[in-house]
């Protein structure tokens, strides 16, 4: 979950720390066994079913084409995959296929339209900000970049893959005060960005 941590969670943690100075935070990108007792909670992406864990939905996993402001005019041509593109595509091919299916375009061949293949959504977003192409990414995770004008949505349609981001923690720890404080804060933060994206 490096993109969630890099693009969304880490920039917000200062506010949580300021209000909860008695709670220490250690982040890890590696998947951890929460029932082993070394970590209290985790963020996972999926369908919300993990044995032995309590799950709290934060927001849906959604994606839409994003690019730098300088490329927006050229990027509008992506809606017709039969036309030549002046910009390259970045991001996951399966997300692009799902997005195209959502706007009514099926059986699209995107094989020769991709630029540099990167292995994480936040790296694709960094390349898009640098003007290297149009990425397919989350307007929620990259909301700060959109608000700051570093990224702009190319199209109004936002696709979803049926998954979501979840706060998870062991069922046996659900009465933990520090988990409760983090859960309440995280849900408030998630609610505010979902409302912002819905109203944009």
Task: Write the pLDDT tens digit of every residue in 119-171.
Answer: 899 999 999 999 999 999 999 999 999 999 999 999 999 999 999 999 999 98
Report residue 190 as tokens.
């998630």
* Cα–Cα distance measured from residue 140 to residue 138, given in angstroms and rounded to the nearest whole number: 5
pLDDT at 200: 55
Integer distance in angstroms from the first to the last C-alpha of the chain?
26
Task: Provide the pLDDT confidence category of residue 30 given band limits of 50, 70 and 90.
Answer: confident
In DSSP terms, 89 is beta-bridged to 114, 134
* Cα–Cα distance measured from residue 65 to residue 56, given in angstroms and rounded to the nearest whole number: 28
Task: Name the CATH superfamily for 2-56+162-194.
Answer: Periplasmic binding protein-like II (3.40.190.10)
DSSP H or E segment with residue 165: strand 159-170
User: What is the tens place of the pLDDT at every residue in 40-75?
Assistant: 898 999 999 999 899 999 999 999 999 999 999 988
Task: Provide the pLDDT confidence category of residue 76 given band limits of 50, 70 and 90.
Answer: confident
pLDDT at 199: 57
Report residue 3 as tokens.
């993109």
Task: Specify the domain boundaries for CATH 3.40.190.10 within the chain.
Answer: 2-56+162-194, 62-161
pLDDT at 1: 65
Burial of residue 11 (number of CB atoms within 10 Å: 0-12, 13-18, 19+): exposed
pLDDT at 62: 95
User: What is the tens place of the pLDDT at every residue in 170-200?
Assistant: 988 888 899 999 999 999 999 987 765 665 5
CA-CA-CA-CA dihedral for 133, 137, 143, 145, to nearest 10: -20
Range in 11-15, 55-59, 82-86 the model is least confident about:
82-86
Report residue 115 as tokens.
């630029």
**Domain 62-161 part of CATH 2.60.40.10:** no
User: What is the tens place of the pLDDT at every residue in 100-116?
Assistant: 999 999 878 887 888 88
């Amino acid at each position: 979950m490096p993109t969630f941590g890099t693009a969304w969670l880490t920039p917000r943690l200062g506010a949580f720390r300021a209000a909860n100075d008695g709670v220490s935070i250690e982040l890890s990108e590696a998947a951890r066994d929460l029932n082993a007792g070394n970590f209290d909670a985790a963020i996972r992406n999926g369908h919300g079913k993990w044995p032995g864990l309590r799950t709290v939905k934060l927001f849906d996993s959604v994606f839409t084409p994003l690019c730098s402001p300088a490329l927006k005019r050229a990027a509008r041509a992506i809606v017709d995959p039969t036309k030549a593109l002046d910009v390259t595509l970045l991001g996951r091919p399966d997300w692009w296929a799902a997005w195209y299916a959502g706007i009514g375009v099926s059986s699209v061949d995107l094989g020769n339209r991709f630029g540099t293949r990167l292995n994480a959504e936040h790296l694709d977003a960094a390349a898009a900000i640098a003007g290297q192409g149009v990425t397919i990414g989350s307007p929620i995770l990259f909301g700060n970049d959109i608000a700051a004008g570093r990224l702009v949505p190319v199209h109004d349609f936002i696709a979803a893959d049926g998954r979501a981001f979840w706060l998870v923690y062991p069922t046996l720890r659900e009465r933990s005060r520090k988990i409760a404080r983090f859960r309440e804060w995280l849900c408030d933060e998630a609610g505010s960005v979902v409302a912002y994206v819905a109203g944009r």
